[in-house]
Amino acid sequence: MGGIFLIERAQSSLEYLLLLAAFFAVLATFVPVIANISTGFLGASDDFLAKRIAQDLNEQISLFNSLGEGTKKSFEYSPVSKIIIYSQGNDLVIGSERKQFVTNFPLPQIIPKQEFKSKILLNLFKDVKGVQIFVSGS
């Protein structure tokens, strides 16, 4: 009588172990999907930030053109993963790893390619030559 009880108990332990293994197998199939979703979200967040920076600069350049010398304005942005900023002649390129947006300045800007993973500081300044931008980060 004691042997039958022990066998039934061992069988139920095996069944629980199989259920636990099946649960972890199903969980293991969803982990990569969840990781891809979070990576896509982070990338989309930086895409939107790059677009917003380009739009903000376009608006400010238009405004600065009608204002006098000595006008200054600073902007601060914080990317989720990475924003890339550099200049090509009169164009300032702002992008994430997936998308790029261009802002056109009246003057050529000299900004080497920089990657920002934390805070981005953009300082606009209008002098006798026109609107200039200074980019830094922390």
What own/partner pairs with CB < 8 Å and gap ≥ 24 does 93-99 have? Answer: 94/50, 94/53, 94/54, 94/57, 95/50, 96/43, 96/46, 96/47, 96/49, 96/50, 97/43, 97/46, 98/43, 98/46, 98/47, 99/47, 99/50, 99/51
pLDDT at 101 (0 to 100): 94
Q: What is the pTM of this model?
A: 0.69
Model confidence over 64-123: pLDDT tens digits? 888 888 999 999 999 988 999 999 988 999 999 889 999 988 888 888 999 999 899 999
Model confidence over 20-56: pLDDT tens digits? 888 888 878 877 777 666 666 666 788 999 999 999 9
